[in-house]
Amino acid sequence: MSEGMTGTMGDSGDAIASGETRELPFEFRGDGAEYFKIWIVNILLTIVTLGIYSAWAKVRNNRYFYSNLYLDGESFRYLADPITILKSRIIAVVVFAAFIVLSELFPVAGLVLALALMAITPLLVVRSLAFNHRMSAYRNIQFRFDASYGEAVMALLVWPILGMLTAGILYPYAILKSSEFIVRNSSYGTAAFDFDAETWDYGRIVLIFLGVLIATFFLTVGLTLLGTGVGSALSPIIALSGYVLAGVYLTVMLTNVYYNSTSLQAHELAANLEVPGYLKVFVVNVILTVITLGLFLPFAKVRMAKYRADHTQFIAAGSLEEFAAAEKEQVGALGEELGEVFDFDVGAI
């Protein structure tokens, strides 16, 4: 089946057999102190310019994280133009403010607005993904994202709602569908990504996640019912630890399945995040950020980026030099900015 295809599209089985695959680690070379300086200047200028600079700040933040992420000796690029972001950001903030005020002051109108928002959410997510992919590049080849509204409605609304209506039984399938939607509609230049996971991959994760939550619940209730002073004092701490543990487990496992199921032609992605390691990074980040009233935030972001990069690999089957650029299409930033203020946050696994 590999006849007639370009070199990089060879059968992965052949590539492994001929020993051509290379496991390439991702590497994040950013530095907390260096990023802190960029971050604090961003904030200072944002204040001084009454928020206008926030668009430039976003570009510099993103550029820092993209440009410091290396694969095979080359780093990624974030290409967005601050002016484009500024225009969309102004519209997004106005819409968001109007939405909040209207929905809190007029609950019925708010309900209608919320439904309208739900209906356009898939569209905004598609536009946001398209913008972010288009603005991301590696080796001077840009990423792309292209999906129809119908597909987006199925992946982002219909399946999750069915998941809820079936008391969570269909939820693992809904997660599978949404990851599939994001990955299969993404491409690197002209090369499409593919996604190959099974429902049970998610079912297992969701069951263990629920198990941890339920165990936490019973432990907390049990301690409270015992009524001893120590037990009741401990129970909120145990509850918090249980929920954090469950949340970290979910993030770690979903990230692993996401990358391990993603391929780019014959090349594959892999991730091996671990709960104890991730938990350590996360807990230290939260504690130090709270103690420093937020000033640790840039260090926290760098630490997390390092951990994630250190546990993600690209398994290259052959050369990375033969990807072709696709024709560039113009993608506006409005979907992305509305998505930011309304906090959709899809695909940021």
Q: Which of residues 142-181 bind other proteins (CB under 8 A)?
A: none
Q: Which of 9, 24, 91, 93 binds other proteins (CB under 8 A)?
A: 93
Separation CA 55–CA 52 (nearest Å) = 7
Q: Which of 58, 127, 267, 306 binds other proteins (CB under 8 A)?
A: 58
Is residue 217 part of the contact set for other proteins (CB under 8 A)? no
Instruction: Write out the H or E segment, with its range, that includes residue 24.
Output: strand 21-28
Instruction: Write out the H or E segment, with its range, that includes residue 325.
Output: none
Is residue 285 part of the contact set for other proteins (CB under 8 A)? yes
Is residue 135 part of the contact set for other proteins (CB under 8 A)? no
For 70, half-sphere exposure in the C-beta direction (CA atoms, 13 angstrom radius) is: 8
Residues contacting other proteins: total by CB under 8 A = 78
Separation CA 158–CA 73 (nearest Å) = 42
In angstroms, what is the minimal distance from the CB of 261 to other proteins? 23
In angstroms, what is the minimal distance from the CB of 281 to other proteins? 12
Close Cβ partners of 157 (under 8 Å, ≥ 6 residues apart): 118, 121, 122
Residue closer to other proteins by CB (options 8, 201) is 8
In angstroms, what is the minimal distance from the CB of 206 to other proteins? 19
DSSP 75: E
In angstroms, what is the minimal distance from the CB of 317 to other proteins? 15
Is residue 5 part of the contact set for other proteins (CB under 8 A)? no
| Nearest CA-CA partner of 76 in 24, 31, 26 | 26
In angstroms, what is the minimal distance from the CB of 45 to other proteins? 8
CB atoms within 10 A of CB 137: 18
Which phi-psi region, left, alpha or beta, contains residue 73 (left: φ > 0; alpha: ψ -120 to 50)? left
Is residue 115 part of the contact set for other proteins (CB under 8 A)? no
As given in the structure block, the two tokens for residue 220 are: 């907390």
Is residue 141 part of the contact set for other proteins (CB under 8 A)? yes
Of 92-100, 148-156, 195-203, 269-277, which part binds other proteins (CB under 8 A)?
92-100
Is residue 251 part of the contact set for other proteins (CB under 8 A)? no
Close Cβ partners of 87 (under 8 Å, ≥ 6 residues apart): 333
Separation CA 214–CA 245 (nearest Å) = 12
| Nearest CA-CA partner of 133 in 177, 85, 79 | 79
Close Cβ partners of 327 (under 8 Å, ≥ 6 residues apart): none
Residue closer to other proteins by CB (options 120, 244) is 244
Separation CA 224–CA 233 (nearest Å) = 9
Q: Which of 122, 172, 335, 339 binds other proteins (CB under 8 A)?
A: 339
Is residue 227 part of the contact set for other proteins (CB under 8 A)? yes
Q: Which of 105, 115, 167, 276 binds other proteins (CB under 8 A)?
A: 105
Is residue 295 part of the contact set for other proteins (CB under 8 A)? yes
Of 148-156, 235-243, 263-271, 308-316, which part binds other proteins (CB under 8 A)?
235-243
Separation CA 145–CA 148 (nearest Å) = 10
Footprint (CB under 8 A) of other proteins, residues 299-318? 300
Q: Which of 12, 26, 77, 246 binds other proteins (CB under 8 A)?
A: 77
Is residue 44 part of the contact set for other proteins (CB under 8 A)? yes
Residue closer to other proteins by CB (options 224, 272) is 224
Strand partners, 270: 313
Residue closer to other proteins by CB (options 1, 108) is 108
Of 26-34, 170-178, 255-263, 305-313, which part binds other proteins (CB under 8 A)?
26-34
Q: What is the DSSP string of 169-203?
A: TTHHHHHHHHHHHHHHTEEETTEEEEE---HHHHH
Q: Which of 17, 79, 112, 119 binds other proteins (CB under 8 A)?
A: 79
Is residue 104 part of the contact set for other proteins (CB under 8 A)? yes
As given in the structure block, the two tokens for residue 5 are: 């295809």
